């Protein structure tokens, strides 16, 4: 791990510009925005925002790539390019990890254990799919007494707009880019204004990997300006969005005007259900990781901790002990296990939710405040004696705050788990095999994990329903979401 100063130097050396059609775009008239370090509160760098002309140029360049050599290329060739990109990202994994720590505030080990291995694995996984875009042959009854041959082919959906959030910008951009590029689409990536650095590095590497000009375009900018220009552009054929439900609604409304297909990965209020028969030590560890990883700024954060009443007090005590072991600090210090939240607004929002929990009757079992130091830190917090109707159990907090709610029996646990506006992920802690499968089947969530929190793998489809969004990323479903199936019937 490099130190903060070296990483700042690396960040400032990146071209802080839109990347369009294979070139960095310098436009004197463009607005800029500052990227703020969540730990020092200083400015890391200032980035040029993509304006209307730049977004238009990006969509045009992407269209040219889809209609040209890239869209028509053999899948083997696309697979090779994606593998080259994976190799380049892997070779620079430490730089990516350091930039992510600087930009997002997450402790140095996290991007090395999660984000970067997942990013590389995602590019490799979809490199393998690129030459397997197969159609189907479908027998039919024929046409006016004549025999027919019907088959389908999978075509790239076209120009994909990928809009990413700040919590895991490297990994989530790979989730969007890799399947789109494997399918022969070209991408306009709008990275988060709070954490755009690794997307700029990715653009540099895409060019090095030999992706043809226009295949990947990166248009940094704020949501209300550049983001809006991207989703409103008539040349965009698909929008893949990860972010908040509020912005998801704006994206869906823009998409509805042209019936543009969308994949929406929105937030969550994911339950972690701890049964009395669970290995409580293992469960407590897992539950704590599930709410404290990435400072709780995770869409799948297990923020509703449902615990069997007979082990409730014991379990809360275990959680409090684990929280006491969390080391809040500079992501560049080796001992740090939790970093800072992304910005002052997020810090204020999380602290307000803690106050709301208190005023609605929850007991702050630990944490509950910001430490007395610069940076957007919030202490790891458990709100005990919470109920599922409290605001802290209903709304996504996106911070290191877990509401711990008791339940009396299995039926109530499932009812509480499903009594939510969200349905992204769920975790079940039990040693009873039948109960594990049974409850996994009854819980409303796109992904259920038993005795482990949210295992990730590019082979496993990812996504939710209700306010958590629609569609799936990753795996075969993620590839198909970037294609159109076309039917051809030949009357013989």
Q: Residues in the site for ligand NAD, rule: CB under 6 A?
A: 163-167, 172, 190, 192-193, 222-224, 227-228, 231, 242-244, 247, 250, 265-268, 299, 396, 398, 424, 469
CA angle 196, 50, 126 (to 5 degrees): 55
CB atoms within 10 A of CB 182: 28
Structure tokens at 270: 């994911």
Which is nearer to ligand NAD, 364 or 421 (by Cβ)?
A: 421
Q: Which residue has the tokens 């479908």?
A: 138
Which is nearer to ligand NAD, 227 or 458 (by Cβ)?
A: 227
Q: How distant, in Å, are the alpha carbons of 3, 71, 167, 185, 383 from that of 366?
A: 31, 54, 24, 48, 8
Torsion, Cα 55 56 58 59, to 10 degrees, reads 120
DSSP label at residue 360: T
Which is nearer to ligand NAD, 172 or 200 (by Cβ)?
A: 172
Which is nearer to ligand NAD, 193 or 430 (by Cβ)?
A: 193
HSE of 234, CA atoms in CB hemisphere, 13 A:
0
Would you call 281 exposed, middle or buried from its count of C-beta atoms within 10 A (0-12, 13-18, 19+)? exposed
Q: How far is the CB of 424 from ligand NAD (least distance, A)?
A: 6
Q: How far is the CB of 242 from ligand NAD (least distance, A)?
A: 5
Report how far apart the first and last C-alpha atoms of the chain are (Å, whole number). Answer: 65
Which is nearer to ligand NAD, 353 or 398 (by Cβ)?
A: 398
Assess contact for 127 and 112: CB atoms under 8 A: no
**Measured distance CA(32)–CA(390) in Å, rounded:** 40
Q: How far is the CB of 105 from ligand NAD (least distance, A)?
A: 14
Assess contact for 171 and 242: CB atoms under 8 A: no
Q: Catalytic pick from 299, 396, 444, 473?
A: 299
Residue nearest to ligand NAD (CB): 223
Q: How far is the CB of 358 from ligand NAD (least distance, A)?
A: 23
Structure tokens at 195: 């954490």
Structure tokens at 218: 């990166």
Q: How far is the CB of 96 from ligand NAD (least distance, A)?
A: 17
**Secondary structure, 3-state, 224-272:** HHHHHHHHHCCCCCEEEEECCHHHHHHHHHHHHHHCCCEEEECCCCCEE
Q: How far is the CB of 193 from ligand NAD (least distance, A)?
A: 5
Which is nearer to ligand NAD, 101 or 447 (by Cβ)?
A: 447
**Measured distance CA(172)–CA(472) in Å, rounded:** 13
Q: How far is the CB of 189 from ligand NAD (least distance, A)?
A: 10
Annotation says 299 is catalytic: yes
**Measured distance CA(290)–CA(310) in Å, rounded:** 22
Q: How far is the CB of 268 from ligand NAD (least distance, A)?
A: 6
Helix, strand, coil content of the chain in percent (nearest 5): 40, 20, 35
Annotation says 485 is catalytic: no
Q: Catalytic pick from 265, 297, 396, 473?
A: 265
CB atoms within 10 A of CB 316: 21
Q: Which residue has the tokens 């005590």?
A: 317
Which is nearer to ligand NAD, 330 or 473 (by Cβ)?
A: 473
Which is nearer to ligand NAD, 88 or 121 (by Cβ)?
A: 121
DSSP label at residue 453: S
Instruction: Point out the residues that are catalytic.
Output: 265, 299
């Amino acid at each position: 791990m490099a130190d903060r100063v070296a990483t700042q130097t690396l960040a400032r050396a990146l071209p802080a510009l839109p990347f369009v059609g294979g070139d960095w775009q310098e436009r004197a008239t463009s607005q800029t925005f500052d990227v703020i370090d969540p730990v020092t509160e200083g400015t890391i760098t200032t980035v040029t925002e993509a304006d209307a002309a730049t977004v238009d140029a990006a969509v045009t360049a992407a269209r040219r790539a889809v209609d040209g050599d890239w869209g028509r290329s053999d899948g083997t060739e696309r697979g090779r390019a994606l593998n080259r990109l994976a190799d380049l990202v892997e070779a620079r994994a430490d730089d990516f990890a350091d930039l992510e720590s600087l930009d997002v505030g997450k402790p140095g080990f996290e991007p090395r254990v999660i984000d970067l291995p997942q990013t590389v694995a995602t590019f490799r996984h979809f490199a393998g799919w690129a030459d397997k875009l197969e159609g189907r042959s479908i027998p039919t009854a024929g046409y006016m007494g004549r025999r027919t041959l019907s088959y389908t082919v999978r075509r790239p959906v076209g120009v994909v707009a990928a809009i990413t959030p700040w919590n895991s910008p490297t990994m989530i951009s790979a989730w969007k880019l890799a399947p789109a590029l494997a399918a022969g689409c070209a991408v306009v990536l709008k990275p988060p204004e709070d954490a755009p650095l690794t997307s700029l590095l990715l653009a540099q590497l895409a060019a090095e990997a030999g992706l043809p000009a226009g295949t990947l375009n990166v248009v940094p900018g704020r949501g209300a300006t550049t983001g809006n220009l991207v989703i409103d552009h008539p040349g965009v054929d698909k929008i893949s969005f990860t972010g908040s439900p509020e912005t998801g609604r704006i994206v869906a409304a823009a998409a509805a005007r042209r019936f543009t297909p969308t994949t929406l990965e929105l937030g969550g209020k994911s339950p972690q259900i701890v049964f009395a028969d669970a290995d409580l030590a293992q469960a407590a560890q897992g539950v704590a990781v599930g709410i404290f990883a990435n400072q709780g700024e995770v869409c799948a954060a297990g923020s509703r901790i449902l615990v069997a009443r007979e082990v409730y007090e014991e379990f809360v005590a275990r959680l409090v002990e684990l929280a006491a072991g969390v080391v809040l600090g500079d992501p560049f210090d080796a001992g740090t296990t939790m970093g800072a939240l992304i910005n002052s607004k997020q810090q204020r929002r999380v602290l307000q939710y803690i106050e709301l929990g208190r005023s609605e009757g929850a007991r702050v079992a630990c944490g509950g405040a910001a430490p007395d130091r610069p940076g957007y830190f919030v202490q790891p917090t458990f709100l005990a004696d919470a109920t599922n109707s409290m605001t802290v159990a209903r709304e996504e907090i996106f911070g290191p705050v877990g509401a711990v709610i008791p339940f009396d029996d299995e039926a109530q646990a499932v009812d509480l788990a499903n009594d939510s506006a969200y349905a992204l992920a769920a975790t079940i802690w039990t040693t009873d095999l039948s109960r594990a499968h049974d409850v996994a089947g009854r819980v409303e969530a796109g992904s259920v994990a038993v005795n482990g929190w949210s295992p990730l793998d590019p082979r496993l489809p990812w996504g939710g329903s209700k306010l958590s969004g629609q569609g799936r990323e990753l795996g075969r479903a993620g590839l198909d979401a970037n294609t159109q199936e076309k039917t051809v019937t030949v009357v013989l």
